[in-house]
């Protein structure tokens, strides 16, 4: 069945460092791909999305490219801030059903 695998955390970075959180997926058909972010004590918020191969989603300096050949949707940011500390979830949507990764906690130190 469909599934999402993302790198385990926590990931700890210094402010202004480059961020990559890996995400790969398994799916039939043509899923849409998403990244959600969860700040402490909050629900999940949509960060970015991509709906077809080679699409790039971007928001708040984060970006991810839908790579069908490698079934990946890695999240990147060129310079992280302390305020980016959160849990990040990769997800896919296929046939009206969502599949979430297990989440990756990011800690950014000043």
Partner 1 sequence: DVKVTQSSRYLVKRTGEKVFLECVQDMDHENMFWYRQDPGLGLRLIYFSYDVKMKGKGDIPEGYSVSREKKERFSLILESASTNQTSMYLCASSLRGIMNYGYTFGSGTRLTVV
Point out which residues bind partner 1 (CB under 8 A). Answer: 30-32, 34, 36, 41-46, 49, 51, 89, 91, 93, 96, 98, 100-103
Terminal alpha carbon distance of the chain: 41
- Two tokens at 17? 């460092």
The least distance separating partner 1 from the CB of residue 61, rounded to whole angstroms, comes to 19
Nearer to partner 1, 18 or 39 (CB): 39
The least distance separating partner 1 from the CB of residue 38, rounded to whole angstroms, comes to 8
The least distance separating partner 1 from the CB of residue 103, rounded to whole angstroms, comes to 6
Nearer to partner 1, 17 or 44 (CB): 44
**Inter-residue contact 87 to 78 (CB < 8 Å):** no
User: What are the CA-CA distances from residue 44 to residues 7, 16, 38, 103 (Å)?
Assistant: 18, 24, 5, 11
């Amino acid at each position: 069945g469909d599934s999402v695998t993302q790198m385990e955390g926590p990931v700890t970075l210094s402010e202004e460092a480059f961020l990559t959180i890996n995400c790969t997926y398994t799916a039939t058909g043509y899923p849409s791909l998403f990244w959600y972010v969860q700040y402490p004590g909050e629900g999940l918020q949509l960060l970015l999305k991509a709906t077809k191969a080679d699409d790039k989603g971007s928001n708040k300096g984060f970006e991810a490219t839908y790579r069908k050949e490698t079934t990946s949707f890695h999240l990147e940011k060129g310079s992280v801030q302390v305020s980016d500390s959160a849990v990040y979830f990769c997800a896919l949507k296929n046939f009206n059903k969502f599949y979430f990764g297990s989440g990756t906690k990011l800690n950014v130190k000043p």
